[in-house]
Copies of this chain bind each other. A is one copy, B any other.
Amino acid sequence: MTLATEFLDDPFFGTGLLGRAARAEEAGPAAPAPAGLPLELAGVAKAFGARQVLRGLDLRVEAGAFVAVVGRSGGGKSTLLRLLAGLERPSAGTVAIDGKPVTGIPAAARLMFQEPRLLPWQRVIANVGIAREPGWRANALAALEAVGLADRAEDWPSLLSGGQRQRVALARALESRPSILLLDEPFGALDALTRREMHQLLARLWRERGFTAVLITHDVDEALALAERVLVLREGAIALDLPVASPREAHGAGEAALKARILAAV
């Protein structure tokens, strides 16, 4: 809990206009505060050999929306994100970002992979500032501080615990300040308290920066706590598309009902 309150004073994660202005100054006029971009999938199918993973998926995500995707293990969630990140080509249908079909790796999107994928030969801080944008060192350190690992900045990644590695990957995804943030089970290796801190961090940054977020999670509570809209992926298609009103409210009675609906759909 201590961590979460620290963000307020943090130059990088500072709240509201002040923080944003400070950041814009730092990075120069060439880097305007990123805004979200809309996503669209139309009739997207994906097969690996004979295995049909996605079949005719239709999905529109508005600019700046926060969508959570839940579904069974092996249900094609990661594949969906990989399609959005341009790492896979659909077998049929089209994937578009901001109205333009995705060819190659879209510059607007950043994917936090299901595994940490840290470069073993770079220190933790260099991993976070992987893109080496101007001022990366300060930004990376701020991001590490936000995930509670500022004191490990100069360690090799191989010395970190599983949850620490995941948080470094999270810091890397956040530091890159994308228009579209794709998160593949970003909190899977975190304990309940650290996880809650990370939830708050993510929610805050989303509000401040306005990026479009797609979050894969196996934790329905997490989906309800963070997203405006929860999708259930089943048998390669969207089985449930549930808007969540004022998602950041505390656990109420309505939430239990929503949770039951989602679990039934999965």
- As a 0/1 sequence over residues 100 to 124 of chain A, the CB contacts with chain B under 8 angstroms (1 = contact) are 0000000000000011000000000
Q: How far is the CB of A219 from chain B (nearest CB, A)?
A: 7
Q: Which residue of B lies closest to A195 (CB)?
A: B218
Interface set, chain A 177-223, CB cutoff 8 A to B: 184-185, 188-195, 218-220
B162 touches A185 (CB 8 A): yes
Bound-state CA distance A266–B195 (Å) is: 13
A24 touches B (CB below 8 Å): no
> Which residues of B sit under 8 angstroms from A184, Cβ to Cβ?
162
Which of A164, A190, A191 counts the most chain B CB atoms within 10 A?
A191
B162 touches A72 (CB 8 A): no
Q: Which of B163, B191, B192, B266 contacts A192 (CB 8 A)?
A: B266
Count class of interface residues, chain A: 20 to 34
Q: Which of B72, B161, B164, B191 contacts A266 (CB 8 A)?
A: B191
Bound-state CA distance A161–B80 (Å) is: 12
Bound-state CA distance A188–B218 (Å) is: 9
Q: Which residue of B lies closest to A194 (CB)?
A: B73
A21 touches B (CB below 8 Å): no
Q: How far is the CB of A2 from chain B (nearest CB, A)?
A: 12
Bound-state CA distance A129–B72 (Å) is: 25
When all copies of this chain in the complex are counted, the total is 2
Given A114-B189, A189-B114, A192-B266, A164:B74 Cβ within 8 A: yes
Q: Which of B78, B114, B185, B191 contacts A71 (CB 8 A)?
A: B191
Q: How far is the CB of A182 from chain B (nearest CB, A)?
A: 15
> Which residues of B sit under 8 angstroms from A190, Cβ to Cβ?
73, 218
> Which residues of B sit under 8 angstroms from A194, Cβ to Cβ?
72-73
Bound-state CA distance A48–B195 (Å) is: 25
A159 touches B (CB below 8 Å): yes
A23 touches B (CB below 8 Å): no
A167 touches B218 (CB 8 A): no
A163 touches B195 (CB 8 A): no
Given A189-B188, A192-B219, A218-B192, A73:B159 Cβ within 8 A: no
Q: How far is the CB of A113 from chain B (nearest CB, A)?
A: 9
A73 touches B163 (CB 8 A): yes
